[in-house]
Structure 1
Amino acid sequence: MGALTEAEAWELIASSPIAFSDEDVEWILQQSQCLPLLLQILCRERLFSLEDGETDDWREEGLRQIKPFAHLLEK
């Protein structure tokens, strides 16, 4: 499966049980390049951080988790 369109990715992220800020969504889209696997990983980290009431380290953790898939970002 290839990358989603930006509109499709926004729609997918909007289905989260807890809403993400526009800033968070933009960051997730940029880092994932709208690739479904990377979107899922980054969204999961953001959702877990919101559920736990933590707001600081989720981006760093998300980047750490997508690092093994960096080859997907190479065009």
Structure 2
Amino acid sequence: MTEIEARELIASSLIAFTDEDVEWILTQSCCWLLLLHILCRERLFNLEEGENDDNWYEEGLRQIAP
């Protein structure tokens, strides 16, 4: 998907992501829909649980690894 489409998808989250998180997700996913979805899901789970750590980075990368 294009970067604009990816940004729109991320912005549709019920809980807003920080600009830093958005940039990291875009960079790591290369705007591939499946990878984008996995990383956004992990960030959303992290936010819903009220966690403010970076464990979601590691989990997201583990899940998208080939």
The residue aligned with 1:46 is: 43
54-63 vs 22-31, greater mean Cα deviation: 54-63
The residue aligned with 1:64 is: 62
TM-score by length of 1: 0.84
1:15 paired with 2:23, answer no
3-state SS, counterpart of residue 59 of structure 1? helix
Say which one has the larger Rg. 1
Shift of residue 55 of structure 1?
2.4
Shift of residue 23 of structure 1?
0.3
Question: Aligned AA for 1:58?
Answer: W
4+ runs of 1 displaced by more than 4 Å?
Answer: none
Identity percentage of aligned residues: 75
Structure 2: any 5+ residue segments left out of the alignment?
none
Structure 1: any 5+ residue segments left out of the alignment?
69-75
- What's the Cα RMSD here? 0.6
Per-residue deviation, residues 3-35 of structure 1 (Å, max 9, x unmatched): x11111000000001000010000000000000
3-state SS, counterpart of residue 7 of structure 1? helix
3-state SS, counterpart of residue 64 of structure 2? helix
Between Structure 1 and Structure 2, how many residues are aligned? 65
